[in-house]
Structure 1
Amino acid sequence: MNSESYIRSIARSLAVLRVVNRAGSMSMMEIANAVGIPYPTACRIVYTLQEEGMLERESSRKHYRPTALVTSLSHGFQDHSNIVTLSRRHLEGLTEKHHWPVSLTTRVGQNMIVRDCTHALSPMALTNYRAGAAFPLVECASGHVMLAFADDQQRHRWLDAAENCDKGPDPLVLKTLRSDDFAESIRTLGYALRGANQFTDTPGRTSSMAVPIYLDGEVRAALTLVFFSVAMKPEVAVERYGADLKAAAAAISAALARQDGKRAARASKADVERPNLGVA
């Protein structure tokens, strides 16, 4: 991303809207700390979002919460993949067999968003994450899968955007993620590992392994298994769960391809059957 085209005020406003929407209700100081912006800046952004009807102040305390108008931002979004429905039985199967929580995530901006997960079904889950939880693209295993399997130009655009964020990653981390060795290693192994995750609600206590889910030769999502950091070494987790995790991701990819093929066939049939209303 060209730094000249990056509008920081918009990025900050969206970040405020995201953190408040995720938390449900926050004080002004909590908002400023969560986004990593000065308190006066947070005030200006929150008051602007209030004027636009996106946030409202609670009557009983100085906390701010999203309004119903926030839902209007998603009205134009169409998810044709039905990926959650196609993936659910595979997520449940992995958790039933191995007990650890498994999540399905897709990239949205600088985050990997949980589309579905089995934390509520797992006896080994430390946190009951739900659909909508967000994890930093540059820090989580699923994000590393997306970065590694994207083409080089796309990967660098995403990392440029991350660098321009107020709470951007460490320059050394960015340097590693930009390297060809980083991408080649994950592509060769077919998975990404992250030990002692720091971005979770229980920092350092869990590690994760993620594999890619494809459609039309492109990575569209990631399947991630989470395990206790102290329970086993990452290489042991790969040996125990890697094959099953890859098999589940391959099955989901195949189901997506079949669905996409059926959709294309229906569209083609509709085109053939559509009457020609042109003037001869």
Structure 2
Amino acid sequence: MNEVNREKIVSELKSIPGLKGIVGCSIGGNSMESAILLYYVAGELSDQELERVVRRVDDIEVSIHYNLREIDPVVHAIADCLDGKITIKHESGHPFGIVNSSYAAEIHYGRILWETPDRPITAMKKKLSAQEAYPEKLRQATIAYFMKEAALSLDNGHSSAMQGGIHYASGSFFQAVSSWVQVIHALNGKFLLSEKGGVKHANQLPITPKQFRVRVNQVYRYFAANNPKLAYCEIDMLESEMNVLVGSFAEAMEG
């Protein structure tokens, strides 16, 4: 989206009652802002006015891709993250679920295009950055929570795979890898916006298993070939490397 179109969209959107902030954010991790996040107050946003504005924007041939964010739950999610509390909300279209830290990531990476005079988005950004670039309580909680989730998923999948349940095992592996992606980002002090493209992004970070993306894809090939033994040989090595990375990080923190 170019700057002229962005200004047109913002000038139209900011008049909507109940809207508190407009933020440009790359949901898929692309360096360009691919979506607009609209932060609003529950019960005050005018859906009819929003629809009218979107139609007006369409009439001037400017496409708009937006996502709504009720502001109070985002404030609470950030408070929980700073306090080391991890939650996942299961929602249609999100096979892994929405981790509360993703809302913090949107605030952290998002570019404020407009906000009300009380500056609620700026306030959330300041809370996130008040301690350090990546909150330590969030890092510790993410590592502990998702390493446990990964281990449980792999245990369940392994027993199923050896009985011919390749479909279930593949799903369990997906859950484990998605959990590892959360851990890898935390180890590197990076917020994770979405599970989409997570393996690719994790593969590019300094602290990550060797050839992470290639090996993850190889496991799916083994499952597709109905070869769970080879799949779990690779999975076991990946899990071992993840444990080493987490252990090395813990030692560095203690030292």
TM-score normalised to structure 1 length: 0.26
**Where is the helix percentage greater, Structure 1 or Structure 2?**
2
**Where is the strand percentage greater, Structure 1 or Structure 2?**
1
TM-score normalised to structure 2 length: 0.27
